[in-house]
């Protein structure tokens, strides 16, 4: 049971979007269209073979037009409405399903598929019109660059808003990880920080993640079933 002033931080991973039809990294063994994610999602790959990286992301960006948020995304919006500014949702996911479901207190620590960024002038645009989704590179409207990059945190790049994230995790009373394998750092390290500061740590996942021993309670199963059920119990009617 959460009081309305309980400080809650949620970390989501690919598992919360799985029931919306978006592949997780583990399920596909981190392989997309026969690329190993670690080989494509890196600055070096973009430098060496921008066309291959661009087509890889265009395929995933186009998929956003065919999927929708699910009941687990919606349940987190209900929890946010109940807790207001005591709530923060940190997602590793690059899909836009949390915001489409209505989440506002949301940090995309690994970036967003719907956005592109100019490496020359740092301009960031939401680019999901038809003209942005072809195999052709998209030019920057603000400067002469003719090739915007995906606004995605690649391996070996620093995730976004880490100071804000560490601040919130160090002050939280409840830390909940949903649909994540605990494989990728620094995201996977947030649970240990929450544990360290005495937060009550809850895990919800289809299978026990790598850091399962750190949870005070672990619920095994589908996010689409467990998240709405648990959140309706935790919100004091």
- Binding residues (CB under 6 A) for ligand BV8: these are 13-15, 18-19, 24-26, 38, 41, 92, 94, 110, 152-159, 179-181, 183-185, 187, 205-207, 209, 222-223
Cα–Cα distance between 113 and 217 in angstroms, integer? 32
Q: Among residues 86 and 181, whose Cβ is nearest to ligand BV8?
A: 181
Q: Among residues 29 and 85, whose Cβ is nearest to ligand BV8?
A: 29
Active-site option among 73, 86, 98, 110: 110
- Closest approach, Cβ 158 to ligand BV8, in A, equals 4
Q: Among residues 86 and 176, whose Cβ is nearest to ligand BV8?
A: 176
- Closest approach, Cβ 69 to ligand BV8, in A, equals 13
- Closest approach, Cβ 129 to ligand BV8, in A, equals 21
Burial 32-67 (b: 16+ CB within 10 A, else e): beebebebbbbeebbeeeeeebbebbbebbeebeee
Q: Among residues 92 and 103, whose Cβ is nearest to ligand BV8?
A: 92
Cα–Cα distance between 227 and 75 in angstroms, integer? 7
**Are 64 and 133 spatial neighbours (Cβ–Cβ below 8 Å)?**
no
110 is catalytic: yes
Q: Among residues 7 and 26, whose Cβ is nearest to ligand BV8?
A: 26
- Closest approach, Cβ 148 to ligand BV8, in A, equals 16
- Closest approach, Cβ 206 to ligand BV8, in A, equals 4
Nearest Cα neighbor of 62 from 137, 130, 141 is: 130
Residues with catalytic function = 110
């Amino acid at each position: 049971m959460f009081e309305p002033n309980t400080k809650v931080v949620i970390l989501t991973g690919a598992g919360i979007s799985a029931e919306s039809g978006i592949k997780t990294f583990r399920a596909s063994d981190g392989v997309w269209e026969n690329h190993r994610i670690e080989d494509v999602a890196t600055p070096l790959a973009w430098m060496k073979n921008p066309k291959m990286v661009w087509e890889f992301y265009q395929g995933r960006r186009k998929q956003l037009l065919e999927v929708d948020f699910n009941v687990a995304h919606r349940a987190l919006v209900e929890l946010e409405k109940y807790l207001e500014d005591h709530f923060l949702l940190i997602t590793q996911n690059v899909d836009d399903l949390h915001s489409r479901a209505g989440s506002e207190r949301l940090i995309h620590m690994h970036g967003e598929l719907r956005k592109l960024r100019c490496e020359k002038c740092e301009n960031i645009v939401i680019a999901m019109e038809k003209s942005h989704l072809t195999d052709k590179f998209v030019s920057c409207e603000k400067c002469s660059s003719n090739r915007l990059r995906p606004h995605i945190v690649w391996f070996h790049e620093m995730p976004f808003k880490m100071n804000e994230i560490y601040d919130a995790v160090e002050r939280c009373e409840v830390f909940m990880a949903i649909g994540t394998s605990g494989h990728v750092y620094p995201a996977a390290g947030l649970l240990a920080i929450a544990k360290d500061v005495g937060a009550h740590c809850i895990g919800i996942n289809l299978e026990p993640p790598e850091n399962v021993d750190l949870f005070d309670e672990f619920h095994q199963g589908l996010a689409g079933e467990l998240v709405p059920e648990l959140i309706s119990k935790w919100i004091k009617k």
